[in-house]
Amino acid sequence: MTVPRPASAVSESAPGATAAPSGVLAGEPLAADICVIGAGSGGLAVATMAAAFGRKVVLIEKQRMGGGGLGGSVPSKALVAAGRRAQAMRTADAFGIAAVEPQIDHRAVQGHVRRVVAAVAPNDSAERLAGLGVQVVHGAARFLDKRTLLAGDYRITARRFVIATGSSPVLPDIPGLDACPYLTSATIFDIDRKIPHLVVVGGGPIGLEIAQAHLRLGSRVTVLEAGRALGNDDPEATAVLLKALHAEGLDIRQNVRVEQVERVGSTIRVHVTSEHGVVAIDGSHLLIAAGRTPNVSDLNLPAAGVRQTPEGIAVNRGQRTSNRRIYAIGDVTGGPRFSHVSGYQAEIVLRRALFRLPARFDPAIIPWVTFTDPELAHVGLTEEQARAGKHKVNVLRWPYTECDRAHAEHQTTGHIKVVITPKGRILGTTIVGAAASELIQIWALAISRKLPITAVAGYVAAHPTFGEIGKQAALRYYASLPAQGNVRKLIDFLAKLG
């Protein structure tokens, strides 16, 4: 059921999006079984699958089909790929190939990014949706009451509504920002020339991915983070990643506060306070990557009886809002902001709305990945979270330096860390290193299906592959068994049998 597209990032305002005057029923009546607001990954998944089951579906989108993914996640990964190729040229001497400094045509790089977006876009087009039986309405949606909304030229009623309007970049309260040019994760891909010095406010996954990509494409880059960079990830793994980024030349400053920004000629000056005092950093471009905020202001949620919090629309584990007819999924709910989360939540809504099955959201099975180099991937609980939850914990590790494929690829930085209970229940896994985004998949499967660590230890891994790293970590579970007295007694008894 999952449509692999990033979550919708519908903007907060649209010209002309006003409510009908009191007592006036504006718009042509349109009835649907399911009305979906937002054509990002979650909205598309609900709409296409509901239509496939014969439901009458209306999908509302006021901006581009495909949501924020086509303006953010997809182009960022295309840019990361370009940076990776450039870095491979610089480091080729390890393979006996002359290393060269790549000649980068920034306009051509952006052409590559745009071609990737163009190749993906038809899958999310209104024409494709119409062919699948979904009626697409272009315009902003605004609830009139608990069962009716206005969108485009229509006054829409539905048996069930699904809000999937996504999120937009947060603009922090920085003095001078309103008078300074700045970029966000949605607009930085409009730049088709070299950025001399990019200053990034925000050391989360988005900020670091874009920072490293531009560094590899020839820019100087400074990252400013108010707390700990990648603060939601395992500190042991982030230490490995940050060390690698520092070694590559990325200037990451943690625990700093941006006091003010100002434009000085063609320069953007950022005043920063740290433990060393106040310093001024002069950059050519400023990227704000300080988080995201849910897109709800247009919706008139009070009229629909939908409760919201500062984090987003409040939902239960079945994704239902305070209005039993209305569900919400994806970024707009304030949970993990990943396209695969939106798709997963779409499946929950479909099971409930179409089949009345008791599907519930389980945050423990959600993997997340930072697509830097090395990559950082995680699923389940970190060691710190497991111990805070009063679990008895064993930690299994295996380094990339013990993997033959890692040596062949000169990718020996990193490790896997598996958190289990003494009886072998898998609580969480963190991987930092090459191909971590692929290696985490088997651990996401194991946790979602409640497989024990012995199941991962028992499969046969092809050699030589990076996948052997996870297999070897799982085998470490057996290393402690000989120390257990009952196991030794069993072995002694079996030995006596001849």
Distance CA 464, CA 5 (A): 32
Query: What digits encode the pLDDT tens for the residues 410-462?
Result: 999 999 999 999 999 999 999 999 999 999 999 999 999 999 999 999 999 99
Any domain includes 49 = yes
What does the pLDDT average to over 75-96?
96
Residues 160 and 201 in one domain: no
Q: Tell me, what CATH number does 390's domain have?
A: 3.30.390.30
- Whole domain around residue 263: which residue ranges? 171-290
Query: Is there a contact between 241 and 232 (Cβ–Cβ < 8 Å)?
Result: no
Res 292 pLDDT > 60: yes
Q: Which of 46-55, 91-100, 124-133, 155-164 has the lowest mean pLDDT?
A: 124-133
What pTM value is reported for the model? 0.90
Residues 33 and 160 in one domain: yes
Any domain includes 243 = yes
Domain end point (choices 364, 385, 406): 364
Q: Tell me, what CATH number does 350's domain have?
A: 3.50.50.60
Q: HEC string of 120-187? A: HHHHHCHHHHHHCCEEEEECCEEEEECCEEEECCEEEEEEEEEECCEEEECCCCCCCHHHCCCECCCC
Average model confidence (pLDDT) across the chain: 91
pLDDT at 201 (0 to 100): 98
Any domain includes 421 = yes
Amino acid, single-letter form, for residue 436: A
What does the pLDDT average to over 248-271?
96
What does the pLDDT average to over 158-177?
95
Query: What digits encode the pLDDT tens for the residues 398-410?
Result: 999 999 999 999 9
Which residues make Cβ contacts (< 8 Å) with residue 191, sequence separation at least 6? Answer: 106, 110, 183, 285
Distance CA 300, CA 325 (A): 16
Specify the higher pLDDT residue, 13 or 197.
197
Res 132 pLDDT > 60: yes
pLDDT at 191 (0 to 100): 93
pLDDT at 337 (0 to 100): 87
Tell me the C-alpha to C-alpha distance, in Å, between residue 373 and each of 246, 301, 328.
12, 42, 34
Q: HEC string of 293-359? A: EECCCCCCHHHHCCCEECCEECCCCCCECCCCCEEECHHHHCCCCCHHHHHHHHHHHHHHHHHCCCC
Res 291 pLDDT > 60: yes
Domain end point (choices 273, 290, 307): 290
Q: Which of 279, 252, 287 is nearest to 180 (CA)?
A: 287
pLDDT at 4 (0 to 100): 33
Query: What digits encode the pLDDT tens for the residues 329-379?
Result: 999 999 888 989 999 999 999 999 999 999 999 999 999 999 999 999 999
Any domain includes 320 = yes
Distance CA 457, CA 420 (A): 13
Residues 286 and 406 in one domain: no
pLDDT at 20 (0 to 100): 41
Any domain includes 430 = yes
Q: Which of 61-70, 172-181, 363-372 has the lowest mean pLDDT?
A: 61-70
Any domain includes 466 = yes
pLDDT at 205 (0 to 100): 95
Distance CA 391, CA 385 (A): 9
Angle between helices 106-120 and 73-90 (to 10 degrees): 140
Amino acid, single-letter form, for residue 247: A
**pLDDT level of residue 15 (50, 70, 90 thresholds):** very low
Residues 285 and 299 in one domain: no
Distance CA 380, CA 443 (A): 9
pLDDT at 9 (0 to 100): 35
Residues 273 and 304 in one domain: no
Residues 182 and 251 in one domain: yes
Residues 304 and 411 in one domain: no
Query: Is there a contact between 34 and 162 (Cβ–Cβ < 8 Å)?
Result: yes
Residues 345 and 473 in one domain: no
Phi, psi values for residue 276, rounded to 5°: -95, 5
pLDDT at 27 (0 to 100): 81
Residues 53 and 150 in one domain: yes
pLDDT at 2 (0 to 100): 33
pLDDT at 496 (0 to 100): 78
Query: Is there a contact between 312 and 296 (Cβ–Cβ < 8 Å)?
Result: yes
> In a 3-state reduction of DSSP, which class is residue 276?
coil
Any domain includes 82 = no
Residues 463 and 477 in one domain: yes
* pLDDT over 90 percentage in the chain: 83
pLDDT at 68 (0 to 100): 61
What does the pLDDT average to over 63-73?
74
Specify the higher pLDDT residue, 484 or 64.
64
Q: Which of 97, 107, 104 is nearest to 83 (CA)?
A: 104
pLDDT at 481 (0 to 100): 66
CA 371-246-230 angle, 5° bins = 45
Distance CA 401, CA 149 (A): 58
Residues 437 and 459 in one domain: yes
pLDDT at 373 (0 to 100): 97
Query: Is there a contact between 379 and 446 (Cβ–Cβ < 8 Å)?
Result: no
Res 54 pLDDT > 50: yes
Domain end point (choices 328, 344, 364): 364
What does the pLDDT average to over 292-300?
94
Count of domains for the chain: 3
Angle between helices 436-448 and 468-475 (to 10 degrees): 50
CA 210-249-112 angle, 5° bins = 35
Residues 156 and 298 in one domain: yes
Any domain includes 233 = yes
